[in-house]
Chain A
């Protein structure tokens, strides 16, 4: 595929991610922080987010699997997830955290598990979307083009 076509696909794909609420303005902020002195900033931060989230999701699964659930601990994990998803602009993941924390407060294992299920789904979705986005970037660069700035 020629560069122009790749670039157009990239712009359209990016726009769809914002439109469908996967990403919010904070992601744009991250893109603006990337420059020549910090050329891989977005990929770096997003990679940290993936690592962090997967660890937290595993911790949450373990914590909710206990006979006596420590809801304070569960809440602490969700708080972390809310913070990091907010920092990268992963809007849908962030939005799952608020109802999750309410369920923790109510100390309801059932509803907590449902929240966990939902947040896992949203996380996997956004991970997939972001990986596709980065792949598109790589293809553009490999074809000798520049990555378009999307406002």
Chain B
């Protein structure tokens, strides 16, 4: 009967032959019928709502254009970013640099708190700083305190009109993200870090997942 309907080419008012959807009992029948071109779709009984929906979607040519959002990666967050790494240990510096460079960051390494001050005195080009906590002469806490001091002074001058923002106009308010690097997470108590003006901390050596979630906070996710 179905074969006759098809060949007779009956049409709807839209001029197109109606889609025929058959209900059948078994999966085996389903494939035979569909491949024979006699029917357009087959639903196996018992009919389920999801099956019905898929059937109609296919019938009216609905294409599931669900956009797959690319999960952002460390690469997408760090590529092209200028990062300052501060650590008095040269092995640690080299490893941190290697890891960050792998994700496309542009890395500068210094070996002391004092050197960090020189590099992070506004205006500068750094997007973020990874700072070791335990260093001789000037530790990470003290270096951060002094950097925030420099930034505050600079911001005051810009606000008061004494300084023209000029090239640094891209930054309305200087606050370079400073992330503590520590092997001893207990030592880096959030309180202590926050008090001196640090933004967060990461474990040393870097752990990919933690690095990602910390960095994402400052550079957005994609």
Q: Is A20 an interface residue (CB 8 A)?
A: no
- The CA of A41 and the CA of B134, in the complex, are separated in Å by 26
Q: Is A82 an interface residue (CB 8 A)?
A: yes
Q: Which A residues, 6 to 65, have Cβ-Cβ distances below 8 Å to chain B?
A: 26, 29-30, 33, 35, 38, 41, 44-45, 48-49, 52
Q: Is B99 an interface residue (CB 8 A)?
A: yes
Q: Is B220 an interface residue (CB 8 A)?
A: no
Min Cβ gap B132→A in Å is 9
A residues within 8 A CB of B183?
82-83, 86
A38 touches B101 (CB 8 A): yes
Given contacts A26-B205, A79-B134, A86-B204, contact A45 B102 (CB under 8 A): no
A residues within 8 A CB of B101?
38
Given contacts A29-B205, A76-B136, A79-B134, contact A84 B89 (CB under 8 A): yes
A residues within 8 A CB of B134?
79
Closest residue of B by beta carbon distance from A38 = B98
Q: Is B92 an interface residue (CB 8 A)?
A: yes
B90 touches A33 (CB 8 A): no
A residues within 8 A CB of B95?
30, 45, 87-88
- The CA of A79 and the CA of B206, in the complex, are separated in Å by 18
- The CA of A33 and the CA of B98, in the complex, are separated in Å by 7
- The CA of A29 and the CA of B101, in the complex, are separated in Å by 14
Q: How large is the interface on A (under 10, 10 to 19, 20 to 34, 35 or more residues)?
A: 20 to 34
Q: Is B162 an interface residue (CB 8 A)?
A: no
Min Cβ gap B90→A in Å is 6
Q: Which A residues, 71 to 103, have Cβ-Cβ distances below 8 Å to chain B?
A: 76, 79-80, 82-84, 86-88
User: Total number of A-B contacts with CB less than 8 angstroms?
Assistant: 49
- The CA of A45 and the CA of B102, in the complex, are separated in Å by 15
Closest residue of B by beta carbon distance from A32 = B102
Given contacts A29-B205, A76-B136, A87-B205, contact A48 B91 (CB under 8 A): yes
B136 touches A49 (CB 8 A): no
A45 touches B204 (CB 8 A): no
Closest residue of B by beta carbon distance from A50 = B91
A33 touches B102 (CB 8 A): yes
Given contacts A29-B205, A76-B136, contact A84 B102 (CB under 8 A): no
- The CA of A80 and the CA of B90, in the complex, are separated in Å by 10
Q: Is B45 an interface residue (CB 8 A)?
A: no
- The CA of A97 and the CA of B139, in the complex, are separated in Å by 21
A residues within 8 A CB of B90?
48, 52
A residues within 8 A CB of B94?
44-45, 48
Closest residue of A by beta carbon distance from B206 = A29
B residues within 8 A CB of A88?
91, 95
Closest residue of A by beta carbon distance from B91 = A84
B204 touches A87 (CB 8 A): yes
B residues within 8 A CB of A30?
95, 98
A-B contact pairs, 20 of them (CB 8 A): A30-B98, A33-B98, A44-B94, A45-B91, A45-B95, A45-B98, A48-B94, A49-B91, A52-B89, A52-B91, A80-B89, A83-B91, A84-B89, A84-B91, A86-B183, A86-B204, A87-B89, A87-B92, A87-B204, A88-B95
CB-based closest 8 A-B pairs: A84-B91, A87-B95, A33-B98, A83-B89, A87-B205, A87-B92, A48-B91, A33-B102
Known: A48-B94, A83-B92. 8 other contacts (CB 8 A): A30-B98, A38-B98, A38-B102, A44-B94, A45-B91, A45-B94, A87-B89, A88-B95
